[in-house]
Amino acid sequence: MNRRLFIGSLAATVRAQGVRKISVLLIDGQNNHRWQLTTPVLQRMFDQSGDQSGLFTVTIATSPPKGADMSSFRPDFAAYSVVVSNYNGEAWPETTRMAFEKYVRGGGGFVTVHAADNAFPEWTEYNRMIALGGWGGRTEKHGPYARFRDGKLTLDPKPGPGGHHGKRHAFTVTTRDRNHPITRGLPETWTHATDELYDSLRGPAQNITLLATAFSDPSTGGTGEHEPTLFTVKYGKGRVFHTTLGHDIEAMNCIGFAVTLLRGTEWAATGKVTQKVPVNFPK
């Protein structure tokens, strides 16, 4: 079955006609990945589903470039139902960080996409929001590794760097919680397009609901562990959806990525999911 998604067909997966639109703030501007290419893909996913269903509207907040004065970067988080981050770069101003903490803690939704979990290793509250992160000098001081072992999420405090991936390849995602609104109706296993399979993420690892994992195969340079790929985090009254998928356009054009992102974003904003799983979701 074709695991690619023609972006214009996304609207057919949504059944939220007549409901109030979910306002999305999509943040970019710095990233070690090519955000200039991936942000338009993300925007189309939200916009084109919203055109016919009335589900999403999107505003983009682009930070100053690396090395520029960041003091003017002050998005009005409170004006949106959910913030989606495609950002991995320099620290935000303190006032912006505090406003974001207040927003999520007070009940705002947050979605972190792929390399956004590499961001802000020294921002304590951000690391609590995302629960697990990689790179940026993360070590055991930032928290344990988290892997799926013996049927449950297991925390491993052994020392070592946080964040790694083997060579890019297509891989199987296993749904671990089939009762959560985001993953309800998904197949037990499904094939994701060629992507980076993040492994060895570590962090505070608190208030996690693990939704899906992928086996990091040693033959591709992986760990031999079942690594978290989709999960949620409770932060105060806020809901956080964390997807490690989505390295580039090829990965984002997978139906599995798009559907889980849109469902996760709706859940982060509202606490429920009204979108159907499309019949062409990968098996």
For the chain, what is the largest distance between any 2 Cα atoms, rounded to a whole number of angstroms? 51
Q: What are phi and psi of 130, to 5 degrees?
A: -85, -15
Q: What does the pLDDT look like over 206-218, one tens digit per residue?
A: 999 999 999 999 9
The residues facing 192 across adjacent strands are 171
Query: Residue 57 has what pLDDT?
Result: 95
Q: Which residue has the tokens 């970019």?
A: 28
Q: What's the rounded Cα separation, in Å, for the pair 190 and 204? A: 29
Walk along the chain (283 residues) and give the pLDDT tens digit of each residue: 333 443 444 444 444 444 579 999 999 999 999 999 999 999 999 987 644 456 999 999 999 999 999 999 999 999 999 999 999 999 999 999 999 999 999 999 999 999 999 999 999 999 999 999 999 999 999 999 999 999 999 999 999 999 999 999 999 999 999 999 999 999 999 999 999 999 999 999 999 999 999 999 999 999 999 999 999 999 999 999 999 999 999 999 999 999 999 999 999 999 999 999 999 999 8
Q: What's the rounded Cα separation, in Å, for the pair 254 and 257? A: 5
One-character DSSP codes across 99-156: HHHHHHHTT-EEEEEGGGGGS-TT-HHHHHHHS-B-STT--GGG--EEEEETTEEEEE
Determine how many CB atoms are found less than 10 A away from the CB of residue 86.
Answer: 26
Taking alpha carbons only, the member of 58, 11, 45, 42 closest to residue 248 is 42
Taking alpha carbons only, the member of 240, 274, 277 closest to residue 22 is 274
pTM score, whole prediction = 0.93
Which one-letter DSSP state was computed for residue 278? P
Query: Residue 34 has what pLDDT?
Result: 95
Determine how many CB atoms are found less than 10 A away from the CB of residue 190.
Answer: 21
Task: Enumerate domains of the chain plus CATH numbers.
Answer: 7-270 (3.40.50.880)
Which SS3 state, helix, strand or coil, does residue 265 take? Answer: helix
Does residue 173 contact residue 201 with C-beta atoms inside 8 Å?
A: no
The residues facing 57 across adjacent strands are 23
Determine how many CB atoms are found less than 10 A away from the CB of residue 75.
Answer: 20
Query: Residue 49 has what pLDDT?
Result: 67
